Structure 1
Amino acid sequence: MVVIGSRVGGCAAAIPLARAGRRVIALDKMSFPSDQLSTHFLTPTGVTEFAKMGALRRILDECDPTRVHHINVAAEGIEALERMRPGDTGVDFGVCIPRDQLDVCLVATAREQGVDVREKSAFQALHWRAGRVSGVRYRDPEGQLRDISCRLVIGADGRRSTVAAAAGASRPYRMSRNGRGLVFRYATDPRAGEGGIETDTFYQWREGESFGLVFPIAPKGRMLVLFMGPREEVSEARADGEAYWQRKLAQHAGLRARVAGTDWTAASKIRSTADCTAFFRASSGPGWSLVGDAAHFKDPVTGQGMRDAMWMGRTLAERVLPHLDDPLATDRVTRAWERHRDEHCLPAYHFANLDTRVERQSPALCELVRDAGRTTGPDLTDVFSRARTPQQIAPLPRLIKMVAKAMVSGERPRRETIARAVPELRTELEIRRERWRGRFRETQLVFGSDHPDPEMPTPPAVLAIDDRDAHAGSTAAAPVGVAA
């Protein structure tokens, strides 16, 4: 097998295959360590994926992350502090690790478990034989073109996937425009060493049209501070980052109090992106499959990308392993896996789409946070840990009850409460109807969730190589290798 991309999704796919005795070659155009724009937020279910890869001990030892047990959500001044639900292996903490640290550990773990990871090796083309992918062409670190024959190619090469382009699947069949941008930086945590709840908590403040977040990260004593306002704010941050930063601190009083005493002159540079269009791609075909951001990307407002990439890689590998010696069976399994992937990821996709709308938090959501805040057990935070879907956390009777509470409380005008509740309930009904229909590669958009005018970059130019031509000598490359 050949895996293109050896970060979270690629390693998660490659490791189970190699562990089962298959020869696996993972190609990555980068060398490690290298950075990657990412929120790198993981709840216990994400950390559990590290454990299933066999990477957790190495990550804890080498990255030394703060082990976080709580999430605090604040909506328009109403707060809920919850302890996160443990994963299915008993892991009860989350972590936040910058990618230049994390990916080194994953690559080392993959090599330790038998994956042939080749850095500075850039994928160039797919080989085809009788309508099925039969191998890959890549450029090695010395610039030499080389070919590998294989039973299956897994693309884990990100949103601008060259594997997707080579397979003719670059254009997503479903897309949604993001309303929010991301602006963030790293700094020394002024609460480090105090041993209080603040350094054991992922914080999220939802105020007006803006989100503010603070995550303890690796190594211990550092933090990530992130603002997610309207995507147009990214231009402001790039024009005058420090002025933007001070304006956002003034906007989020709770965040400002949490980071009070930070020496911003010693903080990292400010980083940003407004390029966060959500999408689903066709992710399986004859002899190929896609995982991670190459397959499906949701708005990072919910911090689900890394966890989902690892889940995709692992579950794909587990499903194809018994069938790899039968090409037709392998292709049937990858298609069935893609359907399962969609069922698993659609609820989080819609949740992220709802959160990326630039608007004040609704009265019903504020009441939901208030209701959850009555205890410290896992409730709303299950949406981040993926223990339950948003629809399971807030079934229609609970949503209607929260609307009624908002009407009674009178904190917001009743007309506003009704005006927000009616379209929100319609959206929730359409999300449930879509799940009930269960259509494969659904293209019908959901009112209030899928946002119009998405932007996607031009797909990369790639070659398609018919092996009959290659054996005839029409392509120049080093001798063909084999990955079992």
Structure 2
Amino acid sequence: MYDVIVVGGRCAGAATALLLARQGHKVLIVDQAQLPSDVRLSTHLIWHAGVDQLQKWGLLDAVVATNCPLLTGFSLDMGELVLRGTPPGTQAEAALAPRRLALDKVLLDAALEAGAELRQGVTFEDVIREGERVTGIRGRLADGSGFTAHAKVVVGADGTHSRVARAVGAEVYNESPKEAGSFNLYSYFTGVELDGVEFYSRPERMIYAWETNDGRTVIGVIQPGNAPRPARQDMEAHFLQELSTLTPGLAARVKAGQRDDEWLGGAIGTFCRQAAGPGWCLVGDAGVTMDPITAAGITNALRDAELASTLIHQGLSTPQGVDAALADYQARRDAIAVPLLGFAQEMAKLAPPTEDIIKLFMALAGNQKQIDRYYGLFGQTVTPAEFFDPANMAEIFAAA
């Protein structure tokens, strides 16, 4: 009998297991993969709120030591206007974009050092129940033999296509198909000089570039999910044509470097899932999957891990129990996640800016405090409600 079984040992699951194990709970992590292993479809960015979490947990130096630089400069190029700034209200005052092989290993190693157990090569098949309550999991090992384990709570940290979520029948809401979001085409390059984290907003396009581990950069072009997509054999030509047409300066730097990985691309449907039920809860993309245009996924996962582990610890430590402690998990998660989900989904349309949006960005020019607050929307140090509050809008326009 374990206190907690975490299904999924990557960033959301490893962080949840780490925090619970540090509080003295008996934690088992199970994963189908042999960990650590890379996650190909990830742009790796951890915004400021997530980096602050890593620093709080004492892991930031270990991630940086994987030869992953802190990212402190941010620019949004809109053609005739460039906004440079950094999110306010952070401890580390930086973002970070580690490859998942590096980040997940740091988190998993820390979880194991704290006392969590790891079983790899376990394919999750179903939950075990006593009445309506989840009391464990069953699955199979690589050799085909059966596997069962029991716990007071099961945490699903197994990603967008979560088998745990399906097994417990987690309700889905705020759902959007992938065609309503964005399509992201990107790869990795060496020898490309960057000026911090670079974003370029163009008609029906968003182009981005930032540095990850070992001097490599991840550079991509985002287009509407319902727009025609290049065939695999045409991805290189399509990518270079987009950059040459829309961002010739970046295109020249890319051509001076070298692509050192395959082309990656994709679009995803977005949603929220019911966060918890009797004996179970979901963290990370298993609970909320957002459009990747705001690169919020890892930051969200680390925040969910801390909230869920805090509530589970309370439940395991008090007579009221885990189910009572998790009763408001969904409301607390959604208070932050749902506005961010809506913000990302609106951005993912890549629609032409309205007259009001154009006026807002013109008003932001030269107002460094408010430019930084705008970046705080992405860094998750300023909420959409705070930034777009009528009083804050009035302050921006009054200053302009």
When normalised by structure 1's length, the TM-score is 0.76
Supply the distance in 2 between the matched residues of 1:321 and 1:352 (Cα, whole angstroms): 31
Q: Deviations over 1:306-340 (max 9, x none)?
A: 10111101111112212226686311221211110
Q: Deviations over 1:262-320 (max 9, x none)?
A: 334x432110002x211011121000001111011111111111101111011111122
Q: Specify whether residues 234 and 98 from structure 1 end up closer, same or farther in structure 2 by C-alpha distance, changes over 3 A only.
A: farther
Which residue does the alignment assign to 1:222?
216
Point out where structure 2 has 5 or more consecutive residues left out of the alignment. none
**1:83-482 equivalence runs, <5 A:** 83-87=86-90, 90-169=91-170, 172-177=172-177, 178-191=180-193, 198-199=194-195, 201-219=196-214, 221-233=215-227, 235-253=229-247, 256=250, 259-264=253-258, 266-274=259-267, 276-324=268-316, 329-377=321-369, 378-397=372-391, 399=393
CA contact 2:294–2:378 (8 Å) conserved in 1:
yes
Q: Deviations over 1:225-246 (max 9, x none)?
A: 0111122457315241111112
Task: Please state how far the C-alpha of 1:150 moved relative to its aligned partner.
Answer: 0.6
Supply the distance in 1 between the matched residues of 2:298 and 2:313 (Cα, whole angstroms): 23
The amino acid of 1:390's aligned partner reads P
| SS of the residue 2:109 aligns to | helix
Q: Specify whether residues 249 and 237 from structure 1 end up closer, same or farther in structure 2 by C-alpha distance, changes over 3 A only.
A: farther
Supply the distance in 1 between the matched residues of 2:323 and 2:242 (Cα, whole angstroms): 49
The amino acid of 1:18's aligned partner reads A
The amino acid of 2:352's aligned partner reads R
Of 362-371 and 36-45, the range deviating more from structure 2: 362-371
Q: Specify whether residues 242 and 327 from structure 1 end up closer, same or farther in structure 2 by C-alpha distance, changes over 3 A only.
A: farther
Q: Match for 1:35 among 30, 34, 38?
A: 38
Supply the distance in 1 between the matched residues of 2:111 and 2:74 (Cα, whole angstroms): 31
CA contact 1:188–1:262 (8 Å) conserved in 2:
no
Percent identity among equivalent residues? Answer: 25
Task: Please state how far the C-alpha of 1:261 moved relative to its aligned partner.
Answer: 4.4
Q: Specify whether residues 23 and 4 from structure 1 end up closer, same or farther in structure 2 by C-alpha distance, changes over 3 A only.
A: same
Q: Deviations over 1:43-63 (max 9, x none)?
A: 2211122223332222111x2
Q: Deviations over 1:103-159 (max 9, x none)?
A: 222211211111112222221211101221111112234332121111000000011
Of 319-328 and 333-342, the range deviating more from structure 2: 319-328
Q: Specify whether residues 44 and 174 from structure 1 end up closer, same or farther in structure 2 by C-alpha distance, changes over 3 A only.
A: closer
Q: Specify whether residues 258 and 344 from structure 1 end up closer, same or farther in structure 2 by C-alpha distance, changes over 3 A only.
A: farther
Supply the distance in 2 between the matched residues of 1:233 and 1:269 (Cα, whole angstroms): 22
Task: Please state how far the C-alpha of 1:358 moved relative to its aligned partner.
Answer: 3.2
Supply the distance in 1 between the matched residues of 2:13 and 2:133 (Cα, whole angstroms): 21
Supply the distance in 2 between the matched residues of 1:133 and 1:175 (Cα, whole angstroms): 26
Point out where structure 1 has 5 or more consecutive residues left out of the alignment. 192-197, 407-484
Question: In the alignment, does 2:74 pair up with 1:71?
Answer: yes
Q: Specify whether residues 86 and 44 from structure 1 end up closer, same or farther in structure 2 by C-alpha distance, changes over 3 A only.
A: farther
CA contact 1:207–1:361 (8 Å) conserved in 2:
no
Q: Specify whether residues 294 and 260 from structure 1 end up closer, same or farther in structure 2 by C-alpha distance, changes over 3 A only.
A: closer
CA contact 1:133–1:152 (8 Å) conserved in 2:
yes
| SS of the residue 1:173 aligns to | strand
Q: Specify whether residues 109 and 45 from structure 1 end up closer, same or farther in structure 2 by C-alpha distance, changes over 3 A only.
A: same
Q: Specify whether residues 237 and 335 from structure 1 end up closer, same or farther in structure 2 by C-alpha distance, changes over 3 A only.
A: farther
Q: Specify whether residues 366 and 19 from structure 1 end up closer, same or farther in structure 2 by C-alpha distance, changes over 3 A only.
A: same
When Rg is computed on C-alpha atoms for both structures, the one with the higher figure is 1
| SS of the residue 1:41 aligns to | coil
Of 378-387 and 173-182, the range deviating more from structure 2: 173-182
Kindly report the root-mean-square deviation, in angstroms, between the aligned alpha carbons of the 2 structures: 2.4
Task: Please state how far the C-alpha of 1:179 moved relative to its aligned partner.
Answer: 2.9
CA contact 2:181–2:291 (8 Å) conserved in 1:
no
When normalised by structure 2's length, the TM-score is 0.91
CA contact 1:316–1:337 (8 Å) conserved in 2:
yes
CA contact 1:151–1:327 (8 Å) conserved in 2:
no
Task: Please state how far the C-alpha of 1:364 moved relative to its aligned partner.
Answer: 2.8
CA contact 1:249–1:256 (8 Å) conserved in 2:
yes
Task: Please state how far the C-alpha of 1:255 moved relative to its aligned partner.
Answer: 5.8
CA contact 2:18–2:108 (8 Å) conserved in 1:
no
Supply the distance in 2 between the matched residues of 1:353 and 1:173 (Cα, whole angstroms): 14
Q: Specify whether residues 86 and 405 from structure 1 end up closer, same or farther in structure 2 by C-alpha distance, changes over 3 A only.
A: closer
| SS of the residue 2:125 aligns to | strand
| SS of the residue 1:10 aligns to | helix
Supply the distance in 1 between the matched residues of 2:379 and 2:23 (Cα, whole angstroms): 29
CA contact 2:31–2:123 (8 Å) conserved in 1:
yes
Higher strand proportion (structure 1 or 2): 2
CA contact 1:369–1:380 (8 Å) conserved in 2:
no
CA contact 2:191–2:257 (8 Å) conserved in 1:
no
Of 33-42 and 292-301, the range deviating more from structure 2: 33-42
